[in-house]
Each structure stands twice: as structure tokens, then as C-alpha cells.
Amino acid sequence: ASRGVRAYAVDRSPGVLAYLRQVAPEVAAVAGDLRDFQLPEPVEVVFCPLGTMAYLIGDEEWQRSLAAVARALLPGGVMVLEFVPGDAHKTEALSWTMLRDGLTVEATAGPLHSDQPGVYAWEMHLRLRSSSGERHYRGVQVQREVTAALAERLVRATGEFGRIELFGDWDVRHRWRGDPTVVLVASRR
């Protein structure tokens, strides 16, 4: 905001939006789902970071979401889509532990079997321990395997974007596992 830029963050989780309002009050928190999110005004750039759209399983969901992104962009605006390509997500389990200010956070995640081609699932556990006790959370995340070619095909199929560029093969790594990251940049017609 101090640089004359207005930023919006879209999430479907009330908890995430409440946290955002606490830590970044200058960012406008918008409740919404990427399947057909709307912003209060058109913007120049929409950035979809790692995994943002991976929960959209079918082509129709992707195209609906991409069309919603296009509607949120000014003509000539840019969509930046970042993802880990292919099935790099499901190769092995991961875990990490963090200790800060008397709170221990332990996270583990591992792949689950999926009978649906092109879809993978992860089971995740988060354990929080402090002097006041212990809490345990479990979740399952289902995502679509997205290749660079598939992402480009889905973006082109909307008919909303002109120039599409793919970037990758540099030393950008997913912060947990070292997976390569691909960035797709598309300009709205």
C-alpha cells in the first residue's frame, strides 16, 4: 500500500483470512473459491502460488477457474501460475519439526494410494506441543498431477489468454522437498 499498490488475497478458509487480517492488514482479504472467485475491481496481476489450483481435479474446474481469473484481470493483465509438475509430489514421505517459544510443531505427510489416474492423495499430520498440552490435526489432500503441457493446454482452451510463456529448469526448488517448480505466465487478451 505504501507503494501505491493494492493487493487482494483470496482464500476459502475463514481462519486463513482472519490470520491474514492480523499479519497484513494492508492486504484486502477476499473470501472465495478459485472455481469462480471475484475481486472488487479488475487487477493487473493475479498470482497463483504453489498448489493453489491443484485441488481442482477436472478440466472443467480448471477452465472455469482460469476464466474467473481472466475476468478479474484488466485487458493485458498477467496471470502467474506456479506449480510442481507431474507426479513429483508423490514419491516419498516428508517430515519436519520446529521449536519456537516453547511450542513444538511436528509435521509429517505421506502419499496415499489413488485409483484415479492423474490424481494423487497425501495424508498429513500436524502435532502441536506446549506446556498447556498437545493437539493433533490430520488431513487428506487430493490433488491433480499437472504437467507443463497440460497447464498450457488448459490455459489456451479458455480462449481468454494470448501470449503464454513457461519458465522452469532453473534452481527454484519447492521449499520442503527440492522439487523443481514451473511458472506459467499468460497475458489476458
- pLDDT value at position 175? 46
Query: What pLDDT, in 10s, does the model give residues 130-152?
Result: 999 999 999 998 888 888 889 99
> Torsion over CA of 142, 125, 30 and 17, rounded to 10 degrees?
180
Inform me whether the pLDDT recorded for 44 exceeds 80: yes
Mean pLDDT over 20-32 rounds to 93
Higher pLDDT, 4 or 75: 75
String of b and e for 43-76 (b: at least 16 CB within 10 Å)? Answer: beebebeeebbbebeeeebbbbbbbbbbebbeee
Q: Which residues contact 81 (CB under 8 A, 6 or more apart)?
A: 48, 52, 53, 151, 155, 183, 184, 185, 186
pLDDT of residue 54: 79
Cα(161)–Cα(155) distance, integer angstroms: 7
Domain 88-143 part of CATH 2.20.130.10: yes
Number of CB atoms found within 10 A of residue 28's CB: 17
Fold: same for 33-86+146-188 and 88-143: no
Region 33-86+146-188: CATH code = 3.40.50.150
**pLDDT at site 85:** 75
Domain boundaries defined on the chain: 33-86+146-188, 88-143
Q: What percent of the chain has pLDDT over 90?
A: 54
Number of residues assigned to the chain: 189
Higher pLDDT, 126 or 37: 126
pTM of the complete model: 0.76
